[in-house]
Amino acid sequence: MQSTPQRKLVLGSTSVYRRELLERIRLPFSVAAPHVDETPQPGETPVALARRLALAKARAVAEVHPDCIVIGSDQVADLHGQPLGKPGTHERAIAQLQAMRGQTVIFQTAVAVVCLATGFVQEDLAAVKVQFRDLSDTEIEHYLQAEKPYDCAGSAKSEGLGISLLDAIDNDDPTALVGLPLIRTCRMLRAAGLDLLSTGA
Catalytic position from the list 37, 67, 74, 124: 74
Answer yes or no: are the C-beta atoms of 177 and 130 closer than 8 Å: yes
Element (H, E) at 92: helix 90-100
Alpha-carbon span 27 to 42, nearest angstrom: 39
Answer yes or no: are the C-beta atoms of 7 and 193 closer than 8 Å: yes
Alpha-carbon span 76 to 68, nearest angstrom: 27
Q: Clarify whether 74 is annotated catalytic.
A: yes
Sheet strands (E) in the chain: 9-11, 29-31, 69-79, 82-84, 104-115, 120-132, 166-170
Q: Which are the catalytic amino acids?
A: 74
